[in-house]
Chain A
Amino acid sequence: MLESEKGEIMVKFSAFLAGILIIFVNYLNSVMGQGSSVFFATTYYHLSGFVIFTIILFLKKESFINFKELQLRYYLPGLFSVFTILIASFVMPVIGATLLMAFNLIGQTITSNLIDHYGLLGMPKRPLEKKKLIGYSIILLGIIIMFL
C-alpha cells in the first residue's frame, strides 16, 4: 500500500471516528445530566476542558489568546458549545439520538447554504446550485420516513 493511500485512509477513518465520538460525548453528557442536572453536566464539561487546554497551552509553551485584539464574534463558539450540550442533554432522552441527529442535519443544511449563498460571516459567496435540491429532497424524504 502506498504511503499516501494509507494517509487517506487515516483521514477518512478519523472523520468516521469523529462522528462516533460526537454521539458518544452527547450521550455521556445526557446521562450525566439525568443523574444530576444538565446544567451541572455542561459546567463540568467546559470547566474541565478549560483546565485540560490550559495544561496543553502550558506544555506547548503557547501564551493565552490576546483578548484586546479579539473580535466579539469569536466569543460565540464557547457560548454555543454550552447550548449544544444543554440542548443535546435535554432533547436526546425524549426524541432519541437518531432523530436529534436528523433535525440537526436540517439546521446544518439550511445554515451552511445561507452562509454560502450570501457569503455570511466573511466566507466567500457561493450561490446555491439548483441541482442540489435533488439531494435535499431525498434527505427530507429520509426524515419523513423516520417518523413513519
Chain B
Amino acid sequence: MIYYLLALFMGVIVVITPVLNGQLTLKTSTYKTAHLSFMVGGFSATVIFLLFGNSIIGSGFLSNINPIYYSSILFGVFLILLMNYYSSRIPAFLIVIIPFVGQTITGVLVDYYLIDKFKFTKLIGAGVILIGLFVNAQIEKRDRKRKLLKENQGVK
C-alpha cells in the first residue's frame, strides 16, 4: 500500500515541479533554474545521505556499482534540455500523451527484461489508459477550437 501511495505522491511533485520551474525560467533562464534545482537537490540529498545512509560509507560500496550506472546524470541533463525544447513548442493536448507513450513502451520493456515484473494485463491496462488520455485530449482540443472561434466572431 505504501508503495502505491508513494508512487501517487511522486505524481503530485512531478506536476508541481515544472509549474514552479517554468515560472522561474521566465524570470531568469533555463540554465539558472536547472542549476538552482541541482544545487538545492545536491545539498539536501547530501544531508539526507549523511543522516540515513552513512552506514555504508567505508564498506567498499563503490565497488558494487557498475560504472555504466553513473551515466544516469548525462541522460538526466539531456532530459531537462529536451523538456525545455518541446514543452513550449508542443500543442498542449499532446504534452501528457506523447511522453506517456514513450514511458509505457520503456516501462513495459524494463519490467519484462530487467526487473521481471511484466504481466500481460499491465500492457492492456496501459493501452486503456492511453485511450482515456486520448479522449480527454480530444475534448480539450475541441473546446479550445470552439473558444477560438467564439473569440474571432467577437472581433468581427
Q: Which residues of A contact B (CB under 8 A)?
A: 7, 11-12, 14-25, 27-29, 31-32, 35-50, 52-54, 56-57, 60, 62-65, 70, 73-84, 86-88, 90-112, 115, 121-123, 129, 131-132, 134-148
Cβ-defined partner of B14 (8 Å) among A17, A43, A84, A145: A84
Chain B contacts for A31, CB-based, 8 A:
66, 69
Quick one: given A88-B10, A97-B111, are A121 and B41 in contact (CB under 8 Å)? no
Q: Would you call B125 and A16 a contact (CB within 8 A)?
A: no
For chain B residues 29-84, which have a beta carbon within 8 Å of chain A? 29, 31-46, 48-49, 52-53, 56, 61-62, 64-66, 68-73, 75-79, 82-83
Q: Would you call B122 and A135 a contact (CB within 8 A)?
A: no
Quick one: given A32-B69, A98-B117, are A79 and B44 in contact (CB under 8 Å)? yes
Quick one: given A53-B35, A101-B107, A135-B136, are A76 and B126 in contact (CB under 8 Å)? no
Cβ-defined partner of A47 (8 Å) among B19, B45, B105: B45
Residue tally, chain B, CB below 8 Å to A: 105
Q: Would you call B103 and A15 a contact (CB within 8 A)?
A: no
Chain B contacts for A112, CB-based, 8 A:
15
Query: DSSP majority for the B interface?
Result: helix
Complex Cα distance A138/B20, Å?
30
Q: Would you call B10 and A87 a contact (CB within 8 A)?
A: yes
Quick one: given A11-B89, A79-B41, A84-B10, are A36 and B16 in contact (CB under 8 Å)? no
Residue of B nearest to A135 (CB): B136
Complex Cα distance A78/B10, Å?
14
Complex Cα distance A27/B68, Å?
12
Q: Would you call A82 and B132 a contact (CB within 8 A)?
A: no
